[in-house]
């Protein structure tokens, strides 16, 4: 095989053979989890690019070859290709963060088109990876003779055993398989159907939002292109939020049909005024047209350029709508929370985390336990139940619970189950991060946190919690950046992440800023918040103000005082950080045991 199909326009991979082997490795990896249609999408664009036909990789041709659309396909009205391309980009990013972190060939699909780029990591030697491959699918547009030639070509490389496996696949794909192959196909189909049914059971109770095409409020095709781009970007940013289901609007020729199960519609418009791009957005309840939320956003395209400006606006809109504790979880809470489904339990969880009361905790826990029994294959429900049990371990002085090892183990088992059900669920990965963190497994905790953040960086709760765990493990610089990012995006619960910023300032020696952040936090949310302020005041030498906080802790949470060293050690991984914090408490007048053996 020659290098004719691999020129600078499609990267710098050393050969087509290497690119095809890398494609096989990606598609065979358990870390690359997309529907078969999306896999066909990737195979098609890679093969067409290597064949020198990248100029034909347009939405129209891809829709026909991969998605089975007819000649009436309108890319403006049917965004299936753009949506699938967005999912594909995210999946490739995840793959190269995990299983493909040491792969030599990097395959990406840059925004703004569908032509893949192939790059080479020069510090990694070439390795024959064909053994990771699997039987190829029929390439759209090839006749039977061409398919047979492909089989012959692969046979010479893969050997007779692999040739027979690929041949059986092609016979099945061509419809001329024998009875046993047909039976295998039927069994495989039944298995896939069962899996899809299980997945469907986990999402039917979640609120569905249809993202309507943003209108162009300015004349000219430029504004129209931007409006379509923002619409696509918003859909791409919303999809990773597992608490909701996102659907695209139906094409015009099916306007009379309502999008299935859509409770809300996200609508908006785009206006150009010189280099300023103004976008308005609103969330509408479809049943009665009530506007649940609305906002507008301005951006100067000279600063970032068109594509980055579009993506930035889409980030803001998607985060405002779908973030935890955001508008999607405040609208119609009373009516939805009364219904006996998984989403009502998720609403109960968010309500509990906002109130942080014993009663609210019991309501959420009881609801989620019933939901797990009813829908055991719902990753989200398992993740939220894990978090509820974990709170019994980390917030015992607020919830009047006993922090036992059994409780922590149960939380970890539920988190592991949630990740097993959906490895890309950011909430499940967040639960696993916290369970590992409080089990004192920092490496596993930060690995899960990194995966959660990569899965959905617009999830403010994930960003904030990951930032807290990074900080408390000693990675203060990166952790504090994420906590600040979460606060800037209005992360909830209100006043929760401010205490993290207080710790960030305290550990860098800016005690005045630390006090300010601490007083901005919700001091009644959890006694540990007052403990942070007490240490800061002790360090500042503000003894009278420190006494007020100490009196409150001794009156409202007396059990915390004899266990303070243990609680601090649960949260701050480094000994030097622990001692700095405890020194402030001692200066404030809190008796702290010097017996470190009591931690074991």
What is the reported pLDDT for 566?
93
What is the reported pLDDT for 74?
74
| Cα distance between residue 101 and residue 98, in whole Å | 6
Report the candidate in 274, 201, 215 with the shortest Cα–Cα distance to residue 249: 215
Taking 90 as the threshold, does the pLDDT of residue 183 lie above it? no
Domain end, chosen from 161, 195, 229, is at 195
The band of 389, judged by pLDDT with boundaries at 50, 70 and 90, is: very high
H or E stretch at 278: strand 276-285
Judge whether 443 lies within some domain.
no
Judge whether 81 lies within some domain.
yes
| Cα distance between residue 36 and residue 359, in whole Å | 46
Judge whether 331 lies within some domain.
no
What is the reported pLDDT for 276?
86
434-460 pLDDT, tens digit per residue, is 999 999 999 999 999 999 999 999 999
Instruction: CATH number of the domain at 538, please.
Output: 1.25.40
Higher-confidence residue: 431 or 287?
431
Residue 592 and residue 538 share a domain: yes
Domain count, the chain: 3
What is the reported pLDDT for 553?
95
Residues in the chain, overall count: 600
Token pair recorded at residue 175:
């419809």
The band of 126, judged by pLDDT with boundaries at 50, 70 and 90, is: low
Taking 70 as the threshold, does the pLDDT of residue 3 lie above it? no
- Alpha-carbon separation of residue 599 from 130, 365, 562, 563, 567 (angstroms): 52, 29, 12, 9, 9
- Whether 460 contacts 489, CB under 8 Å: yes
Q: What is the pTM of this model?
A: 0.64
| Cα distance between residue 331 and residue 282, in whole Å | 13
Region 136-159 average pLDDT: 37
Taking 70 as the threshold, does the pLDDT of residue 598 lie above it? no
The three-state secondary structure class of 32 is: coil
Judge whether 420 lies within some domain.
no
Residue 262 and residue 213 share a domain: yes
Instruction: CATH number of the domain at 239, please.
Output: 3.40.50.10070
Report the candidate in 180, 42, 61, 171 with the shortest Cα–Cα distance to residue 116: 42
In terms of residue numbers, what domain contains 582?
465-600
Residue 182 and residue 214 share a domain: no
Taking 90 as the threshold, does the pLDDT of residue 432 lie above it? yes
What is the reported pLDDT for 247?
81
Token pair recorded at residue 371:
């939901």
What is the reported pLDDT for 331?
59
What is the reported pLDDT for 28?
87
333-364 pLDDT, tens digit per residue, is 544 444 557 788 888 899 899 889 999 999 99
Give bridge partners of residue 108 from the DSSP assignment. Answer: 117
87-106 pLDDT, tens digit per residue, is 788 888 888 878 888 888 99
- Whether 39 contacts 27, CB under 8 Å: yes
- Whether 17 contacts 1, CB under 8 Å: yes
Sign of the C-alpha dihedral computed for residues 387, 390, 394 and 399 taken in this order: positive
| Cα distance between residue 309 and residue 302, in whole Å | 9
Sign of the C-alpha dihedral computed for residues 533, 538, 539 and 540 taken in this order: positive
490-534 pLDDT, tens digit per residue, is 898 888 999 999 999 999 999 999 999 999 999 999 999 999 999
Residue 135 and residue 106 share a domain: yes
Judge whether 422 lies within some domain.
no
Query: CA neighbours within 13 Å on the CB side: how many for 342?
Result: 26
The mean predicted confidence, pLDDT, of the chain is 80
Residue 119 and residue 64 share a domain: yes
Domain end, chosen from 289, 324, 359, is at 324
Residue 594 and residue 470 share a domain: yes
Which has the minimum average pLDDT: 190-199, 323-332, 388-397?
190-199
| Cα distance between residue 86 and residue 234, in whole Å | 11
Judge whether 524 lies within some domain.
yes
Give bridge partners of residue 208 from the DSSP assignment. Answer: 245, 262
| Cα distance between residue 549 and residue 125, in whole Å | 61
């Amino acid at each position: 095989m020659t290098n004719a199909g691999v020129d600078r326009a499609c990267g710098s991979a050393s050969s087509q053979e290497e690119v095809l082997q890398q494609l096989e490795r990606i598609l065979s990896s358990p870390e690359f989890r997309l529907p078969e249609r999306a896999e066909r999408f990737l195979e098609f664009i890679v093969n067409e690019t290597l064949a020198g036909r990248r100029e034909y990789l347009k939405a129209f041709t891809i829709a026909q070859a991969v998605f089975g659309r007819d000649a009436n396909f309108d890319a403006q009205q049917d965004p299936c290709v753009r949506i699938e391309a967005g999912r594909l980009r995210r999946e490739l990013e995840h793959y190269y963060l995990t299983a493909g972190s040491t792969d030599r060939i990097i395959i990406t699909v840059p925004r703004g088109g569908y032509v893949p780029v192939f790059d080479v990591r020069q510090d990694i030697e070439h390795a024959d990876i064909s053994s990771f491959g699997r039987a190829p699918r029929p390439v759209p547009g090839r006749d039977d003779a061409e398919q047979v030639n492909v089989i012959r070509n692969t046979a010479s490389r893969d050997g007779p055993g692999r040739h027979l496996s690929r041949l059986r696949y092609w016979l099945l794909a061509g419809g001329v398989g024998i009875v046993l192959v047909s039976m295998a196909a039927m069994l495989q189909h039944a298995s896939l159907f069962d899996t899809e049914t299980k997945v469907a059971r986990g999402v039917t109770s979640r609120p569905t939002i249809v993202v309507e095409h943003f209108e162009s409020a300015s004349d000219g095709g430029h504004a129209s292109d931007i409006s379509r781009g923002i619409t696509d970007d918003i859909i791409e940013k919303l999809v990773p939020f597992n608490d909701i289901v996102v659907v695209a609007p139906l094409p015009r020729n099916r306007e009379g049909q309502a999008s299935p199960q859509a409770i809300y519609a996200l609508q908006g418009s785009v206006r150009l005024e010189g280099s300023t791009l103004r976008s308005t957005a609103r969330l509408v309840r479809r049943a009665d047209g009530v506007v649940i939320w609305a906002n507008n956003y301005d951006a100067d395209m000279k600063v970032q350029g068109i594509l980055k400006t579009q993506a930035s606006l889409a980030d803001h809109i998607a985060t405002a709508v779908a973030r935890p504790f955001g508008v999607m979880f405040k609208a119609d809470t009373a009516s939805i929370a009364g219904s006996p489904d998984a989403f009502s339990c998720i609403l109960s969880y968010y309500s509990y985390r906002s109130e942080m009361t014993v009663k609210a905790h019991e309501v959420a826990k009881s609801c989620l336990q019933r939901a797990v029994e009813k829908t055991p294959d719902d990753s989200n429900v398992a993740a939220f139940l894990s978090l509820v049990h974990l709170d019994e371990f980390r917030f015992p002085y607020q919830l009047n619970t006993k922090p036992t090892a059994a409780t922590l183990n149960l939380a970890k088992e539920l988190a592991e189950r949630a990740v097993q059900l959906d490895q890309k669920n950011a909430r499940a990965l967040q639960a696993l991060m916290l369970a590992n963190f409080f089990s004192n497994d920092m490496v596993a905790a930060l690995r899960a946190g990194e995966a959660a953040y990569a899965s959905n960086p617009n999830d403010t709760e994930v960003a904030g919690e990951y930032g807290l765990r990074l900080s408390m493990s000693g990675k203060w610089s990166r952790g504090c950046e994420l906590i600040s990012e979460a606060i800037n995006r209005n992360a909830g619960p209100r006043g929760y992440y401010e205490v993290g910023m207080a710790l960030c300032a305290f550990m860098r020696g800016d005690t005045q800023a630390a006090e300010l952040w601490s007083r901005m936090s919700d001091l009644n949310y959890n006694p540990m918040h007052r403990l942070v302020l007490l240490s800061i005041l002790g360090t500042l030498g503000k003894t009278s103000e420190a006494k007020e906080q100490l009196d409150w802790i001794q009156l409202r949470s007396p059990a915390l005082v004899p266990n303070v060293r243990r609680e601090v050690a649960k949260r701050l991984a480094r000994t030097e950080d622990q001692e700095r914090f405890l020194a402030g408490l001692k200066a404030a007048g809190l008796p702290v045991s010097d017996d470190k053996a009591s931690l074991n």
